[in-house]
Amino acid sequence: MLRLSDIVAQLGGELVGDDTEIRQVATLEAAKPDELAFLANPKYRKQLDETQAAAVVLGQQSRDLTQRPRILAANPYLYFAQVSALLNPPRMPAAGVHPTAWVAPDARLAPGVSIGPHASVGQGAILGANVVIEAGCRVGEGVEIGDDSRLYPNVVIYHDCLLGQRVVVHANAVIGSDGFGNAWTGEGWYKIPQIGRVRIGNDVEIGSSTTIDRGALGDTVIEDGVRLDNQIQIAHNVHIGRHTAMAGCVGVAGSTRIGAYCTFGGSAMILGHLEIADRVNIMAGTLIGKSILKAGTYVGQYPVQSHEDWLANASHLRRLDAMAKRLKELERKVGRNDANTGESTS
């Protein structure tokens, strides 16, 4: 249980109303009478009227939307997350090496390191203070992991990769597998040795089953504060700028350089050898085939229809060039009013 005044003492904000106690955080809709909820988006205001929550977090401008005990905060969503973190600290396994784990004799483990069941740590690896390596992980030879980082179960880090501080990697992710480099011999594929590494900055979180390949020559780089969701594929020699976030199932092909503060919707696919500027937002399902040099929001999504309607419409895409020519021919015959079309190139 936390008292609202204790929360405000730690996190700031203004307490309005009774200094009640809360046990947990919840949504407005699901909150029980000993829970704290939040209102970040005015469109959920009706839920505010109906909530059972003991108290709510909301913006200054929403001060009078409720009479419940409340905390006013500049960014209610962030504040709520911070309260949740106070109430729900991550479970930390005990420090020490589990009896079923295997650690190479020359690996260096700082104080507070925890190695779980059946994990193994290769020769020359260096683990910082309080690093947690959970069950079944493999930390390759020469890997370095900074203080307070955590690998969830069955993560694999290939040899010589570098992870910063407070990096979190979720289950079954792979960091440092060989990039997809093949030269054609005339008869088959010849594997190009992948001799770079993966370098990951501080405060990065990587989702489950995400894969990040090592560089072919030079390194694959993930800068500070990047957030990668699950099932993302990052190819060799990609560079991702700080605080960029990618939703699930995104793919980035080799040698593409992505700026800082970008966001990528789920299943977006970025081709190789491109440059994406800072503060670019790519919407879900969009395939990017050319560099994007200007901040903004970009999209290429095929609109959905009933199967019937799609059948009627989609086939015309295969003849769009012919339609454009027929339109031009008609305009030639009828006489065209260019001012109305907003188009000058065809």
**Catalytic site residues?**
236
Residue 56 interacts with a copy of itself (CB under 8 A): yes or no: no
Of residues 140, 200, 143, 190, the one with CA closest to residue 169:
200
Segment contacting a copy of itself (CB under 8 A): 4-12, 13-21, 53-61, 292-300? 292-300
CA dihedral over 108, 112, 115, 117, signed as positive or negative: positive
Q: With the C-alpha atoms ordered 27, 28, 31, 35, is the resulting torsion angle positive or negative?
A: positive
Asked whether position 304 contacts a copy of itself by CB under 8 A, the answer is yes
Over 141-197, what HEC string results? CCCEECCCCEECCCCEECCCCEECCCCEECCCCEEEECCCCEEECCCCEEECCCCCC
Best CA proximity match to 49, nearest among 60, 62, 61: 62
**Residue whose entry in the numeric block shows the structure tokens 């060039």:** 321
Among 8, 120, 124, 291, binds a copy of itself (CB under 8 A): 120
Q: Which stretch binds a copy of itself (CB under 8 A): 14-22, 52-60, 65-73, 311-319?
A: 311-319
H or E stretch at 325:
helix 320-334
Which one among 6, 14, 106, 331 touches a copy of itself, defined by CB under 8 A? 331
Asked if residue 249 binds a copy of itself (CB under 8 A), the reply is yes
Q: 163-202 mask for a copy of itself (x: CB under 8 A)?
A: -----x-xxx-x--xx-xxxxxxxxxxxxxx-x-------
Residue 303 touching a copy of itself (CB under 8 A): yes
Under the criterion CB under 8 A, does residue 293 sit at the interface with a copy of itself?
no
Residues 144-172: b if buried by 16+ CB within 10 A, e if exposed: bbbbbbbbbbbbbbbbbbbbbbbbbbbbb
User: Which positions from 30 through 49 interact with a copy of itself, judged by CB under 8 A?
Assistant: 30
Instruction: Pick the closer one to a copy of itself by CB: 24 or 52.
Output: 24
What residues numbered 62-101 form the site for a copy of itself, per CB under 8 A? 75, 77-78, 81-82, 84-85, 87-88, 90-91, 98, 100
The letter for the amino acid at 97 is V
Site for a copy of itself in 137-166 (CB under 8 A): 138, 140-141, 152-154, 156, 158-159
